[in-house]
């Protein structure tokens, strides 16, 4: 499969962040065990997901909410931050 075929089949462009994301959530390549079907061939951005070690990325609330939606680790971090900073719903 060519790069172009891969992109057309599995990815959609995120115009806001100028990146690609899988068409389906959670990721099309995520196994039930939580492992990636792509193994060592996964893209660099996937290897870094959910970007918790990249403060510049976490400044974007949109990207944080995107990660929280599908990633248990990001969700747990978000929940802990809510408690630590006393987030309140209005």
Q: What value does the mean pLDDT of the chain take? A: 80
Other beta carbons within 10 angstroms of residue 64's beta carbon come to 19
For range 17-35, the mean pLDDT: 83
pLDDT at position 63 over 80: no
Residue 27: band (very low, low, confident or very high) from pLDDT cuts 50, 70, 90: confident
For range 55-73, the mean pLDDT: 71
Euclidean distance between CA atoms 80 and 86, whole angstroms: 10
pLDDT at position 74 over 60: yes
Is pLDDT larger for residue 55 or for residue 27?
Answer: 27
Instruction: Specify the DSSP element, H or E, that contains 14.
Output: strand 11-14
pLDDT at position 34 over 60: yes
Work out the burial of residue 4: count CB atoms within 10 Å of its CB; fewer than 13 is exposed, 13-18 middle, 19 or more buried. exposed
Instruction: Specify the DSSP element, H or E, that contains 83.
Output: helix 72-84
Q: Which residues pair with 13 in a beta bridge?
A: 20
For 47, what's the count of Cα atoms within 13 Å in the CB-facing half-sphere?
6
């Amino acid at each position: 499969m060519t790069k172009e075929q891969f992109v057309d089949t599995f990815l959609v462009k995120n115009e806001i962040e100028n990146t690609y994301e899988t068409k389906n959530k959670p990721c099309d390549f995520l196994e039930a065990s939580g492992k990636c079907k792509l193994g060592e061939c996964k893209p660099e951005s996937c290897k870094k997901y959910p970007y918790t070690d990249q403060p510049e990325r976490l400044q974007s609330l949109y990207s944080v909410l995107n990660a929280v939606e599908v990633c248990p680790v990001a969700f747990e971090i978000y929940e802990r931050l809510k408690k630590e900073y006393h987030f309140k719903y209005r």
